[in-house]
C-alpha cells in the first residue's frame, strides 16, 4: 500500500508537471484594454502580418471600454493585463484605486509636439468670443470632468482670471456631439478630437481660441500601463510583445506603408478609410514616438498642473510608477543587424 501511494503521488506530480509545461508552451494571452483607436496598440496587433512574434510567444485580446475609469477597475480585478491610461488618471489609479504597482510602460500618443496637432479649443466664427476673458458667464463643453481636456481648459481660463463654477459653467458631452453643440449655440467653446475635429461644417464655421499646448505645454495624453507583478512574471513573452509594438509603430509611420496603415486603422475602427485619410499619420494627427517612449517629464508637468488647479490633493511623483525597460530593450533588439 505504501509503495502504491508513492507511485500514485509520483504520477500526480508528473501529471501536474506535464500540465504546467503544456501551459507554459502556449502563447501568453495579453488582454489589453483600450478606449480610442488613436493609439497604435492594440490596433497593430489586429494584423499579425506586420509582426514577428505574434502567435508564437504571445497573442493580444483587445477589450474595449467607454473610459479609463472602467479600465482601472478591470485591471484591479484582474480582468485585463494592459491598459491605456491618461496622465490625469494615473494619480487616481494609485491614490484612490490603490494600484500602487502600476507602471507606465509605453507611449500612446502626445499632444503639442512641434509640428504636430495640438488639440484646439474652438469658438464660432460668428460668435462674440474673441478672447479667453469673453468666456465669463458662458458654458463650455468638455468630454469628461477631471480628464485631460478639462484640465487644460481650467488651466488656461484660470490664467485669465476665470474659475470653474464661479465664472463659467462646464458641461460634459461626448466628442461626436461637440460640433453640433457649438454650432447650435448651446455652448460657447468646445474641444474635440480627430476625426470629429475635421468635419467640414466645424472647420468652416469655427476656429481655435487657444490650444492645449498654449494652455499647458506639450502633454503626454495617453500611455500604456500594466502592473509590475504582470511585467515581472511574463518578461520573456512581453519582451517579444514590446518588440512587435515598436516594430509595428515604425511600420505604421513609414510613409511607403501609409495606404496600408490607413486600411488597417479603418478596419480596426470600423470606419470608412476616407474618413481618416485626410489627417491620419500626417502633421494634422497626434504625435506617436517611433520607439514608443513616453515623455515622462511632460507627464510630471501635466500632473503638477492638475494639482495646481485643485483636482489633486497632494503632489505626485511620477518617476515611482515608470518602467520603460521593455520598450528600450525592444528598440535595441530591433536595431541589431540580425533583427
Instruction: Give the pLDDT of residue 4.
Output: 38
Query: 100 with 317: CB under 8 angstroms?
Result: no
* Per-residue pLDDT at 25: 77
DSSP alpha helix (H) spans, the chain: 2-24, 68-76, 90-95, 148-159, 178-183, 200-205, 212-216, 228-233, 235-252, 258-269, 273-277, 296-308, 325-334
pTM of the model: 0.86
**What percent of the chain has a predicted confidence (pLDDT) above 70?**
92
> With contact defined as beta carbons under 8 Å apart, do 43 and 265 qualify?
yes
Position 7 pLDDT exceeds 90? no
Q: Which domains does the chain have, with CATH numbers?
A: 7-112+219-334 (3.40.190.10), 120-216 (3.40.190.10)
23: pLDDT strictly greater than 80: no
Q: Which 3 state secondary structure label does DSSP give 175?
A: helix
Identify whether 195 is preceded by a cis peptide bond (ω within 30 of 0): yes
The answer to whether residue 14 scores a pLDDT higher than 60 is: no
Least confident stretch, 12-21, 54-63, 184-193, 238-247: 12-21
Give how far Cα 308 sits from Cα of 156, 315, 322, Å.
12, 9, 22
Structure-derived torsion over alpha carbons of residues 276, 280, 283, 284, reported in degrees to the nearest 10: 30
The larger pLDDT score, comparing residue 166 to residue 270, is at 166
pLDDT of 197 above 80: yes
> Residue 1's pLDDT is what?
44
Q: Provide the 10 A C-beta neighbour count for residue 85.
A: 24
Please, what is the end-to-end C-alpha distance for the chain in angstroms?
58
pLDDT digits (tens, 9 = 90+) for 106-155: 999 999 999 999 999 999 999 999 999 999 999 999 998 888 999 999 99
Amino acid at each position: 500500500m505504501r509503495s502504491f501511494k508513492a507511485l500514485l503521488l509520483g504520477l500526480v506530480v508528473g501529471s501536474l508537471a506535464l500540465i504546467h509545461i503544456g501551459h507554459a508552451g502556449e502563447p501568453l494571452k495579453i488582454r489589453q484594454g483600450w478606449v480610442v483607436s488613436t493609439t497604435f496598440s492594440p490596433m497593430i496587433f489586429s494584423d499579425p502580418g506586420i509582426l514577428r512574434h505574434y502567435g508564437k510567444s504571445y497573442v493580444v485580446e483587445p477589450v474595449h471600454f467607454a473610459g479609463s475609469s472602467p479600465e482601472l477597475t478591470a485591471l484591479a480585478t484582474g480582468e485585463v493585463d494592459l491598459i491605456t491610461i491618461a496622465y490625469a488618471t494615473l494619480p487616481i489609479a494609485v491614490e484612490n484605486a490603490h494600484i500602487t504597482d502600476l507602471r507606465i510602460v509605453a507611449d500612446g500618443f502626445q499632444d503639442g509636439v512641434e509640428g504636430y496637432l495640438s488639440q484646439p479649443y474652438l469658438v464660432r466664427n460668428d460668435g462674440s468670443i474673441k478672447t479667453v476673458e469673453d468666456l465669463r458667464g458662458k458654458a463650455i463643453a468638455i468630454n469628461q470632468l477631471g480628464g485631460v481636456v478639462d484640465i487644460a481648459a481650467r488651466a488656461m481660463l484660470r490664467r485669465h482670471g476665470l474659475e470653474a463654477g464661479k465664472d463659467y459653467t462646464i458641461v460634459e458631452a461626448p466628442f461626436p456631439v461637440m460640433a453640433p453643440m457649438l454650432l447650435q449655440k448651446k455652448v460657447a467653446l468646445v474641444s474635440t478630437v480627430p476625426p470629429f475635429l475635421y468635419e467640414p461644417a466645424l472647420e468652416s464655421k469655427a476656429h481655435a481660441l487657444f490650444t492645449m499646448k498654449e494652455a499647458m505645454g506639450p502633454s503626454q495624453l495617453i500611455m500604456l500601463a500594466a502592473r509590475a507583478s504582470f511585467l515581472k512574471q511574463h518578461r520573456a513573452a512581453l519582451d517579444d510583445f514590446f518588440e512587435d509594438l515598436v516594430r509595428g509603430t515604425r511600420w505604421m509611420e513609414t510613409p511607403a506603408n501609409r495606404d496600408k496603415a490607413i486600411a488597417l486603422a479603418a478596419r480596426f475602427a470600423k470606419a470608412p478609410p476616407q474618413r481618416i485619410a485626410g489627417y491620419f499619420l500626417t502633421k494634422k494627427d497626434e504625435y506617436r514616438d517611433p520607439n514608443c517612449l513616453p515623455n515622462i517629464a511632460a507627464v510630471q508637468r501635466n500632473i503638477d498642473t492638475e494639482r495646481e488647479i485643485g483636482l489633486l490633493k497632494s503632489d505626485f511623483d511620477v518617476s515611482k510608477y515608470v518602467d520603460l525597460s521593455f520598450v528600450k530593450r525592444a528598440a535595441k533588439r530591433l536595431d541589431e543587424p540580425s533583427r
